[in-house]
Structure 1
């Protein structure tokens, strides 16, 4: 092997070192840019511990806790079309292989997203299924857009005043709903059973000259869109919606409680004599059971033979089949009964339908 003189080797090494490009540092991973999800603590008041209902086991999902419903609705009476965008803030109360909610097959699903990503959703036998698993206590935001013509479902009762349950279209194109023990799913995707209370924000857009009414506290009107909100959780059977050519009247109840009455001029004038006594009925109830438990109250009159304690906005039937001579006493008894439910049924509520006698027992006793 041929060898170079030592001095020449040293010079060659120095020259090579001067000409060599340094190795660049290894690239570092970019900082995470995953967008923060919503702060679900804003809807914690809507957290429940759902259970299966033994009376109507086909309704509801015991593994799913809906914290909040955001309902953006529009009603077109000429085509009898309800258009909706329902935003549900969810919590899995157990490990779930899929998300399943009660929802009427009368609607067409326009789109479904889960946490902002497009998802699929199938609708069959009044059940909406989204094929995404949720681990226990995981939160998710489900948005369902839909349209269709509302259809009621039969009431499981032999009562003489039995009517279809859920969102009802009247002959003049107006809407109203009563849904005990179920029927909320006829107008929005719901966990339609009493043990899953949730918070609500409802917006309803209607044609010129019409009004939209829902349960909860009135939250303003923008053009033809009426808004309502709840700060107290509400069971789905206590939600209400009405659309029609209504007149609005306001009053003040005990301790400055805001009251709102919705009636149809020329149709409900006689009943309004009773409705306007609401402050004294509420004052009497407060003397027996303590302060009224919600931030507002009201009544909407609808073409029905029944009435419901829908939360913060009693849905009062006009009872056209009743004898005219009995109407004023009938209306008064029914209205006090429904107001009484705000203590017994709305605030203190059953977790399953075996316990509904506690609601009705107290309200009937108070009415008497």
Structure 2
């Protein structure tokens, strides 16, 4: 079952976060481009998609440029930037797409109609047509400003490593790249994404997940089990019961500590397990191997799922905006524990007897 740190320890983490963020306020706000006159401005409290006045034909290119941020807490510079929150759709229906670059993201229209925009803020998508899950939609300070224009510029291309895809809930990003047998993740201020690859492997006592990683920089200096310190890099497995188990490296939480995700909605689905701790081994290749069934029993418990349906790479620097960097190699999922499966390029292969 999940573990809980003493409340006094969490309060101490919160106090350290308070000091850290207050020191960073001036720097963080200096990095945000001000909203300009003529921008359409979204507060994060909108419940409907906003018309932009830009109509496109299928195949026509349009440009989205954005500025500003939704400010959740001005005293601690907790903000949400457009590159995480600003999405577009065409003709009042999905699919939806997220901007990649705030300076300019160029889309090639996938449908005909008026371009609409939505600021996702703290909501979660309910599918890919632009509906959000039920929950409060609070208007935040500041504002995300943007403009949409037709353009002849080339479309912005963002390709995940071979055999992987961006999770629909988070959209496309520029923080993952793959060359040879490595997958590189380099998060910047305010990035958040899950890279995923589908698998279909039975879960039993022989099932093993293994990988090598070289972590150069951790995205959190503080324990990651609070909402506002929950920035991390991890490898995760998703099960056929809708739950997932993620393995992460923490600067301070001890090896073996496992806890439910502190974020709303995810708290009912995701469990985190610390498998590396401290900074001594940063910059060094580390090999990991996990007995998934045993870990599931200890960290989650209850009825065991029957199959593993996905492997994820998770990168988040949304809250503290410190960024993180790591290289992943030889991600292996084997049913018999031999470890004989290997990566082809940047993909993941599964071995089953």
Structure-1-length-normalised TM-score: 0.25
Q: TM-score, normalising length from structure 2? A: 0.26
More strand per residue: 2
Q: Which has the larger radius of gyration?
A: 1
Specify which structure has the higher proportion of helix: 1
Higher relative contact order (CA 8 A, sep 6+): 2
